[in-house]
Structure 1
Amino acid sequence: MTRRNLIVLLMCSVSYPAIAQQAVMLDEITVMAQKRPEQAADVPISIDVWSGQRLEESRTLRRDQALSATPNAQMGTVSGSLYTNFTAIRGVGSALIDTDPAVGLYVDGVAAGASQTYGGNLLDIDRVEILRGPQGTLYGRNNLAGSVNVISNLPDPSRTYGEFGVDYGRFNTARSFGFFNTPIGNSGWAVRGALSGSRNDGYTPDDATGGKVNSLQDISGRFSVMGPVSDTVDFLGSVEHERQRTVDGAFMSEADFQAGRRSVDIVNPFNGTLSTTTARAQFTARLDNGDRLVSLTGFRTNETDFKGNSFPQGYFAATNAFFRSAGVAGFQYRADNPFNGSYDQISQEFRYESDHNERFKWVGGLYAERSHGSRQYGLTNSFDSGGFLSGSGVTLQSKGVTDTTALAAFADGTFALTERWKIFGGARLGYDHKEFSYDFRSDNASFNTIFAPVVAGFAPAYLASLSAPYVTPRFGTQFEVSDKLNVYASISRGYKSGGFNAGFVARGDEKAFDAETLWSYEAGWKGRFLADRLSLNGSVFFMDWRNQQVQTFNVATQSTPIQNAPKSRSYGAELEARLKIDDHWSVRAGLGYVDATYVDFKNALATGASTTIDVGGNQQQYVSKFSGTVGIGYAWNVGYDDLQGSAEVAYQFRSGFYFDVANTLRQPAYGLLNARIGVENERYAAHLWGLNLADQRYRVSATDFGLGSLVAVGTPLTVGATFKIKFSQQNDAHAVVK
């Protein structure tokens, strides 16, 4: 294989539209779902692919937006979209911040690790691949629900080009963005840089201050370089950094939301920052027999710093009334909730890939990862009273530190029995080891004496560890009914690591919670019809889920222990279609159905009570039974200055769902209507856009802390405009790509 062929193969991780063989046909979509370049239609996995063009046309700027608009997938964010509090695929997910994720996120091949950082910016992206179902064989632990691959545009050694753009919209929403790509002389090397900055003033008025809350500020950048090290070895490296900041994040009371109120009354809103850095270094060696050896080194770190309480005024009225009735005149309770966290991870994967043209295509490798995670929770209370705690305060603080070592060996392959019939399968053997330390302290001696039973209810400092091997196999078969239709069936196992409670831990909750496991059974088809103008894919699945990790809230101790639900299950289906009607009209639609419930969970802690309840038969948190999207696009030739016009209208919907295990906090069904229209040529582009055009009011999260439900409200109607300037210069001396 020549150097040119390898660069082309590397660029296969960046998809290019196929040259049309006839006037009207759908583009082919290339993916790396099985860690080798393949057409999405040939991969026996249910996949939703968001190309860079699709992301732009739908104004999908963040990862949480892409996942939430995918049938049978959900991602919830709070604090002005800064903090991810829930991620799920096919009803299998995690509403936890102290555990490993159930859905894996990979940024240019590097695992994201901490799930609360999933909702980041999409900057200069080629595509996002959303893989449904367990992906433990190739991707490892913590992928039992599925995986999300975010793939950036690669440096292009053929030409110098770039773009710069600006946005402006309602709520003083402003964004500037751009990228620059250039070859390094005639060396075959190229570099690419991208930068984006955005802000808004917040979309919820605060009656207490006269300002607005729930503002998000974001700045992100990436630098990447690619080129040949020798005649047989190529290098691809990148560094990416993002800093997100919530300004005045706030919750609304459920009562106010139900009353239709669009403002809050917050004195001490939540403020926080989340900084994430990702780096990778990939070497690819071509062997004489056409096989490849890949070394991928990854590093990821994030720092989190939050402070404030987000509670509306009057939320602690019952607490104040209790103390005043006990004779503490003028008692006024105030709370601040600082949170600091850090996560550092380094990983190394060695992968051997067979020649992709062989009858037996396979990949095998070794993986090692080391991570250090620290979470420090605070609860700072002040007591403004005329009595025994006048002017004093108390800070309760807990800190949990987890050091993890993960090792794995894996192999996966596909064998063609005949020209139409294939079998595929593989397995991953892994090992996890975790070291955990916990500390709790209270800094007010008077409080510790008076409220000794409360303080004594929290676990003291302790050390713990766990070690566990695991196996995640998959196997299945695939059959080509015709050149345009194939069907498949598969069985796979998912695994999510066990761990330790790291928040405020009550006595008795010090023990480790168990790992989750899941067996998935899936069948599906992928087909092209109407002379390649219609793509129609479908799948059905059943998941048998054991020891699900569920975070609950104990009102008696104010702790948030993680419990294992002995048995859960999820089953459902997906149907997705793309239709190219003619040179002008196109349609995209997707529908998902999932029934995800707790089958056996008799001792769940009830929200708003100190007792346990049986939630067997209850619906999983945040999971809608029905979800889907439909979009229509129209393109035309303006007839002036080579301008091409385009218009897109899309509607995404989801049925009702619950925020809590007990199924008491419910969000009814809702839908979001979005649209964009504009013109573009090779030099500039201008578009008008609108999001949530029907101004639908809905909750993105809800929590009951025992004093009433608090909700985070979704973004209301937003309209704006985008303008871009583009430039390009062909490098004729070294046009090696495309």
Structure 2
Amino acid sequence: MAGGTNTQRLLLLAGACRLFAACGATDALAAERQVDIVVTARKRDEKAEDVPVALTKVTGEALDRRRLYQIEDLKQLSPSLNISYFNPRGNYVSIRGIGRNPASDGLEPAVGIFVDGVYLGRPGMAAYDLADIDAVEILRGPQGTVFGKNTTAGAIVITSKAPTFTPEGSADLSGGTNAYGQLRGTVSTGLIDDVLAARVSVYHTGQRGWINRIDNPSPLNGTDRTGARLQFLIEPTARLRLRLIADYHEEQDSCCSLVAGSFGPPSATYVARVVAAGGSAVLGGDAYRTSVNAPTFVRVHQGGITANLVYDLGAAEVTAITGYREWHYRAGFDGDLSSADAYANAAVPTDDWQFSQELRIANRSGGKIDVTAGVYYFRQSLQSALRLVFAGKAANFLGNTIAPPPFLAAFNGTTSSTESDLNAQSAAAFVQGTWHLDPKLALTLGVRGTYERKSGVIDRPANAAQPSYHQALAVEEVDPSGTFALSYAWSPDLHLYASYARGTKAGGINPIVATAQDDQIVRPEHADSFELGLKSTALRGQLHVDLALFYTRIGDYQATLNRLFGAILTNVGRVSTRGVEVEARWRAAPAFDLAMTAAYNDAHYDSYRTAPCPPEAAGATACDLSGAPLADAPRWIVNASAQYSRHVRAIGLASIGFDYGYRSSYFGNIDNSRYSRLGNVGIANAQLGWTSDHSGTTVQLWVKNLADIRHLESYPLGGATLYGAYFGTIGLPRSAGLTVRQQF
């Protein structure tokens, strides 16, 4: 399949559609429950087939069964979803090819992440173990009406399990290859009958590094994560419900090392510069190796408090969600990515504080019109820095010479620190209504007005090689957004819809020192999305399939460009994406479940005449990528799974599971260099489990990356500004382990 043609892939997708017959919403890969799937995509409980939105819902049980417990694992569950994880600060999420802006301190992500109703201002806030989760909903397309923050590509909505008045709990212990170990535990119980309940969840995950340093016995990319969540559920009356959530997470990793995937064309000078600075560089994609010699580590401390209050007025329900979060990131890495004596250390310390308040009211469902209206406020303060400690041969590296000129020699032994202090405020009012014109036909209209203001100060004190820099900036805007949708229930088992949505992502400020070619202000990104969808159920409820056709066009698309001393944010022009998505779940037999998600996505630049040139275009200062494919946007994404369970008398329930994820080749860097091309990749995982009838204990054997496919997942750094080389994140090697779980 990895080498198949587009025609073969189209036949595969068409065959899958015929296999699953008619097309309905799915609780992806949770086929053990053939019941109505309830989602909250429009901020009220609704059946998935009634919602005119392309979405995937995944239960916490499905996540546990497949050993998916990190945000980057979710890409195995939904069509068109791609997640690149460089480090807790530099990850990004894209849907339908939209969303490439890693480490964007000055911008929000195109895909919003919400945890228990609270919007996370930084994607890195979601880089923790997904423990004790009730469900995850993945919404595709702009979500610019009822969600707290505007998004242009979609939203990931994570909901933790709430406290219960009936005592329950679980504990599981996992061990595996490469010194992998994980411990998770949960206890929930009532404290005052029908009034007060509490829930405590804890986890710890550790793993030895698996990227080898050629001159150091300590491997890199090890993991050490610990976290806890404490909740209280208070129901003093039948009408009032208050849920208080406090969580804390910390990690201390030998992370996150990039490896060289390509040194570029013959004209590239990266390797020569490393040699001039007394070092060596190695390709590491297949061998899991690097030559870095500077300290490499990540330290994260984060936590937050959420208050979710719901009051039943009878004819309507009022919801107030208050959230406060802090996120503190420290890291050290090798600025020259080799054993050269060019950078002694590089660091990007970041501190983030955010507060949000949402208040909304929704009438009771079941009438002629369903209306949800509300207001939202968000405030964020972010302090970050780019600190570079130049070593004794920095000038040799920068000048590609063993005898550097004096102006470059001034860098040797110098420390450069660019400090930024950014503040953002957002206020919005919204209303959305669904008018049930008759029992089969419904019209949805929604509108939102959002006010955004961002301000910041960028400072760099003078050093031996660079003058001082000071810049104060501010940007302010008011943006409308909204949605329009028609849905039609052709029959109880077949629902059709057509929708239009407009989403806006606020502009921002570049938290770096500007150069002549860079703008400090980034303009807002606007998305217009059109979608036709079909959701159906067949074979007496055993088959559920969704089909969605989509087209999205975006103006002033925001993306990240590499620069020698940091990355900058920019508007790349107009882009568009179009394609088809299929989701299917089939209970082929009482003990045999199949599931599949597949997407064909044609994402490209409509207009990008000032793109960075790839290193093979030596001497060019600007290149025209108009009509070229969008970076980090695989054209084909296919995920499939199979689960077989059988009860064995006097022993218990035995099960075996298999899943497979495929992504076609795509450009990993915004310059679309052929040296940044990432190949077709298909990863298979397997699970074998047994649950005792007597004790309720579950034992599971699991293997990830069954065929030990060695592959690069993205190229966060590279191109002409890195002297022609490309450095990327590498996928996990094959790992196997055992999990023992006890519920009580």
Is this a same-fold pair by TM over 0.5? Answer: yes
Q: Secondary structure at the match of 2:178?
A: helix
Specify whether residues 234 and 249 from structure 1 end up closer, same or farther in structure 2 by C-alpha distance, changes over 3 A only: closer
Q: Which residue number corresponds to residue 330 of structure 2?
A: 305
Note the 1:263-274 alignment, pairs <5 A: 263-274=289-300
Q: Is the 8 A contact 2:257 2:333 kept in 1?
A: no
Specify whether residues 371 and 726 from structure 1 end up closer, same or farther in structure 2 by C-alpha distance, changes over 3 A only: same
Give the gaps of 5 or more residues in structure 1.
Answer: 1-14, 317-331, 449-454, 728-738
Q: Tell me, in whole angstroms, the C-alpha distance in 2 between the residues paired with 1:530 and 1:564.
A: 49
Q: Which residue number corresponds to residue 8 of structure 1?
A: none
Q: Tell me, in whole angstroms, the C-alpha distance in 2 between the residues paired with 1:85 and 1:526.
A: 32
Do structure 1's residue 414 and structure 2's residue 434 form an aligned pair?
yes
Q: Tell me, in whole angstroms, the C-alpha distance in 1 between the residues paired with 2:298 and 2:150.
A: 27
Do structure 1's residue 276 and structure 2's residue 299 form an aligned pair?
no
Q: Is the 8 A contact 2:330 2:348 kept in 1?
A: yes
Q: Tell me, in whole angstroms, the C-alpha distance in 1 between the residues paired with 2:389 and 2:186.
A: 44
Do structure 1's residue 228 and structure 2's residue 235 form an aligned pair?
yes
Q: Which residue type is aligned with residue 526 of structure 1?
A: K
Q: Which residue type is aligned with residue 290 of structure 2?
A: V
Specify whether residues 262 and 462 from structure 1 end up closer, same or farther in structure 2 by C-alpha distance, changes over 3 A only: closer
Q: Which residue number corresponds to residue 457 of structure 2?
A: 437
Q: Tell me, in whole angstroms, the C-alpha distance in 2 between the residues paired with 1:349 and 1:677.
A: 44
Specify whether residues 251 and 231 from structure 1 end up closer, same or farther in structure 2 by C-alpha distance, changes over 3 A only: closer
Q: Is the 8 A contact 1:269 1:310 kept in 2?
A: no
Q: Is the 8 A contact 2:142 2:152 kept in 1?
A: yes
Q: Tell me, in whole angstroms, the C-alpha distance in 2 between the residues paired with 1:352 and 1:640.
A: 52
Q: Which residue number corresponds to residue 312 of structure 2?
A: 286
Do structure 1's residue 685 and structure 2's residue 685 form an aligned pair?
no
Indicate which of 410, 414, 420 corresponds to 1:400: 420
TM-score, length basis structure 1 = 0.88
Do structure 1's residue 74 and structure 2's residue 116 form an aligned pair?
no
What is the root-mean-square deviation of aligned Cα atoms in Å? 2.3
Do structure 1's residue 86 and structure 2's residue 92 form an aligned pair?
yes
Q: Which residue number corresponds to residue 452 of structure 1?
A: none
Do structure 1's residue 506 and structure 2's residue 506 form an aligned pair?
no
Greater alpha carbon shift after TM alignment, 94-103 vs 385-394:
385-394
Q: Tell me, in whole angstroms, the C-alpha distance in 1 between the residues paired with 2:113 and 2:563.
A: 30
Q: How many residues align?
A: 674
Specify whether residues 672 and 232 from structure 1 end up closer, same or farther in structure 2 by C-alpha distance, changes over 3 A only: same
Do structure 1's residue 668 and structure 2's residue 679 form an aligned pair?
yes
Q: Secondary structure at the match of 1:475?
A: strand
Q: Tell me, in whole angstroms, the C-alpha distance in 2 between the residues paired with 1:248 and 1:582.
A: 45
Q: Tell me, in whole angstroms, the C-alpha distance in 1 between the residues paired with 2:179 and 2:512.
A: 37
Q: What is the CA distance between 1:559 and its match in structure 2? A: 5.0
Q: Secondary structure at the match of 1:54?
A: helix
Q: Secondary structure at the match of 1:210?
A: strand
Q: Tell me, in whole angstroms, the C-alpha distance in 2 between the residues paired with 1:601 and 1:508.
A: 15
Q: What is the CA distance between 1:477 and its match in structure 2? A: 0.4
Q: Which residue number corresponds to residue 40 of structure 2?
A: 32
Q: Tell me, in whole angstroms, the C-alpha distance in 2 between the residues paired with 1:310 and 1:671.
A: 32
Q: Secondary structure at the match of 2:741?
A: strand
Q: Which residue number corresponds to residue 741 of structure 2?
A: 724
Q: Which residue type is aligned with residue 500 of structure 2?
A: I
Q: Which residue number corresponds to residue 627 of structure 1?
A: 637
Specify whether residues 203 and 616 from structure 1 end up closer, same or farther in structure 2 by C-alpha distance, changes over 3 A only: same
Q: What is the CA distance between 1:121 and its match in structure 2? A: 1.6
Q: Tell me, in whole angstroms, the C-alpha distance in 2 between the residues paired with 1:249 and 1:146.
A: 27
Note the 1:146-295 alignment, pairs <5 A: 146-157=154-165, 159-255=166-262, 256-257=282-283, 260-288=286-314, 290-295=315-320
Q: Tell me, in whole angstroms, the C-alpha distance in 2 between the residues paired with 1:141 and 1:232.
A: 28
Indicate which of 360, 366, 380 corresponds to 1:371: 380
Do structure 1's residue 712 and structure 2's residue 729 form an aligned pair?
yes
Q: Which residue type is aligned with residue 659 of structure 2?
A: A
Q: What is the CA distance between 1:508 and its match in structure 2? A: 5.8
Q: What is the CA distance between 1:560 and its match in structure 2? A: 2.9
Q: Tell me, in whole angstroms, the C-alpha distance in 1 between the residues paired with 2:497 and 2:459.
A: 51
Q: What is the CA distance between 1:507 and its match in structure 2? A: 4.6
What are the Cα deviations for residues 3-42 of structure 1, in whole angstroms up to 9, with x where unaligned? Answer: xxxxxxxxxxxx9x99x9xxx9723221111110111122
Q: Is the 8 A contact 1:103 1:142 kept in 2?
A: no
Q: What is the CA distance between 1:310 and its match in structure 2? A: 6.6
Q: Which residue type is aligned with residue 711 of structure 1?
A: G
Specify whether residues 276 and 25 from structure 1 end up closer, same or farther in structure 2 by C-alpha distance, changes over 3 A only: closer
Q: Which residue type is aligned with residue 604 of structure 2?
A: T
Q: What is the CA distance between 1:142 and its match in structure 2? A: 3.9
Q: Is the 8 A contact 2:662 2:680 kept in 1?
A: yes
Greater alpha carbon shift after TM alignment, 240-249 vs 412-421:
240-249
Q: Tell me, in whole angstroms, the C-alpha distance in 1 between the residues paired with 2:55 and 2:97.
A: 16
Q: Which residue number corresponds to residue 321 of structure 2?
A: 296
Specify whether residues 460 and 534 from structure 1 end up closer, same or farther in structure 2 by C-alpha distance, changes over 3 A only: same
Q: Which residue type is aligned with residue 594 of structure 1?
A: N
Q: Secondary structure at the match of 2:305?
A: strand
Greater alpha carbon shift after TM alignment, 247-256 vs 534-543:
247-256
Q: Tell me, in whole angstroms, the C-alpha distance in 1 between the residues paired with 2:566 and 2:730.
A: 25
Q: Tell me, in whole angstroms, the C-alpha distance in 2 between the residues paired with 1:571 and 1:117.
A: 30
Specify whether residues 607 and 341 from structure 1 end up closer, same or farther in structure 2 by C-alpha distance, changes over 3 A only: farther
Q: Tell me, in whole angstroms, the C-alpha distance in 2 between the residues paired with 1:95 and 1:262.
A: 26
Q: Tell me, in whole angstroms, the C-alpha distance in 2 between the residues paired with 1:623 and 1:438.
A: 33
Indicate which of 58, 66, 82 corresponds to 2:66: 58
Q: Tell me, in whole angstroms, the C-alpha distance in 2 between the residues paired with 1:83 and 1:639.
A: 50
Q: Is the 8 A contact 1:347 1:368 kept in 2?
A: yes
Q: Is the 8 A contact 1:348 1:367 kept in 2?
A: yes
Q: Tell me, in whole angstroms, the C-alpha distance in 2 between the residues paired with 1:276 and 1:25.
A: 35
TM-score, length basis structure 2 = 0.87
Specify whether residues 311 and 58 from structure 1 end up closer, same or farther in structure 2 by C-alpha distance, changes over 3 A only: farther
What are the Cα deviations for residues 218-255 of structure 1, in whole angstroms up to 9, with x where unaligned? Answer: 11111111121334322111011111232153222224
Q: Secondary structure at the match of 1:117?
A: helix
* Identity %, equivalent residues: 22
Q: Tell me, in whole angstroms, the C-alpha distance in 2 between the residues paired with 1:509 and 1:302.
A: 28
Q: Secondary structure at the match of 2:572?
A: strand
Q: Secondary structure at the match of 1:55?
A: helix
Q: Secondary structure at the match of 1:351?
A: strand
Q: Is the 8 A contact 2:335 2:388 kept in 1?
A: no
Q: Tell me, in whole angstroms, the C-alpha distance in 2 between the residues paired with 1:31 and 1:179.
A: 24
Q: Secondary structure at the match of 2:413?
A: strand
Q: Which residue type is aligned with residue 140 of structure 2?
A: R
Indicate which of 631, 637, 644 corresponds to 2:647: 637
Specify whether residues 311 and 199 from structure 1 end up closer, same or farther in structure 2 by C-alpha distance, changes over 3 A only: farther
Q: Is the 8 A contact 1:250 1:311 kept in 2?
A: no
Q: Which residue number corresponds to residue 572 of structure 2?
A: 565
Q: What is the CA distance between 1:413 and its match in structure 2? A: 1.4
Q: Is the 8 A contact 1:629 1:650 kept in 2?
A: yes
Q: Secondary structure at the match of 1:65?
A: helix
Q: Which residue number corresponds to residue 710 of structure 2?
A: 697
Q: Which residue number corresponds to residue 138 of structure 2?
A: 130
What are the Cα deviations for residues 493-536 of structure 1, in whole angstroms up to 9, with x where unaligned? Answer: 01001011113432563531100001000010110000000001
Q: What is the CA distance between 1:116 and its match in structure 2? A: 3.4
Q: Which residue type is aligned with residue 305 of structure 1?
A: R
What are the Cα deviations for residues 405-461 of structure 1, in whole angstroms up to 9, with x where unaligned? Answer: 1110001111111111111111111100111111112433xxx3xxxxxx35xx821
Give the gaps of 5 or more residues in structure 2.
Answer: 1-26, 263-281, 397-401
Indicate which of 73, 87, 103 corresponds to 1:97: 103
